[in-house]
Amino acid sequence: MHPFVFATQALRRSAQVRIGRAREFWSKPCVYKAKVVGKSAFKLANMACALHIFAEYVGTVSLMSGLSMMPTLADSGEIVVEDRLSIRWNPTGIARGDLITLYSPLDPSRIICKRVIGLPGDVVCVDPTGQKAPSTEHIVVPKGHLWISGDNAAMSRDSRDYGPVSMSLVRAKLRARIYPDITIFRNPITYLD
């Protein structure tokens, strides 16, 4: 028997089975139908709640795009894994060099991605490039705040523009890129006292 004929017959049998099940379902009393629909709706609601809780408290997959983090992240957009659990359990576990997502201090409805440059108590140069402030200007990062910067300083709005950001704005750590290629993000900064 030709494979195409076999596949067509299998599809026809499958359709007949589905039609038979549908006829059987619709021939049942309304109470039965209501129970089936109710159970299905309950399962769907449970699944939606579980997905929401996982994305809100454990981690999620997000699309990051923009020029400020080039060359680490492409401006065309990349799909990354956000780890929210580590921030919730240990907010002080953020290290210099970590990639983080946070709510923008200028527009809390926007989520931005930046690199941590300074932790509370660190003395940081406000703008080593000298584009937005004299390269001799330094600041002590206050308690409960971070100094963040984009990898592409020329195209980034970061702590050079709005100063230290509150740690309460931090949403997650970026752990990996999964599209277009898989890359685990390693911390490139070696801290020297």
Largest CA distance in the chain: 82
On whether the CB atoms of residues 84 and 59 are closer than 8 A, the answer is yes
On whether the CB atoms of residues 96 and 126 are closer than 8 A, the answer is no
Which residue in 28, 68, 109, 143 is the catalytic one? 68
- Give buried/exposed letters for 54-70 (b at 16+ CB in 10 A, else e): eeeeebbebebebebbe
Whether 68 sits among the annotated catalytic residues: the reply is yes
**In 3-state terms, what secondary structure has residue 170?**
strand
Task: Return the structure tokens found at 175.
Answer: 């752990």
Which residue in 28, 40, 86, 114 is the catalytic one? 114
Whether 76 sits among the annotated catalytic residues: the reply is no
The H-or-E segment that residue 183 falls in is strand 183-184
CA distance 158 to 152: 11
Q: How far is CA 171 from CA 85, 140, 190, in A?
A: 10, 23, 24
Name beta bridge partners: 118.
147
Among candidate residues 72, 62, 65, the one with its CA nearest the CA of residue 152: 72
Residue with tokens 């038979």: 20
Q: Which residues are catalytic?
A: 68, 114
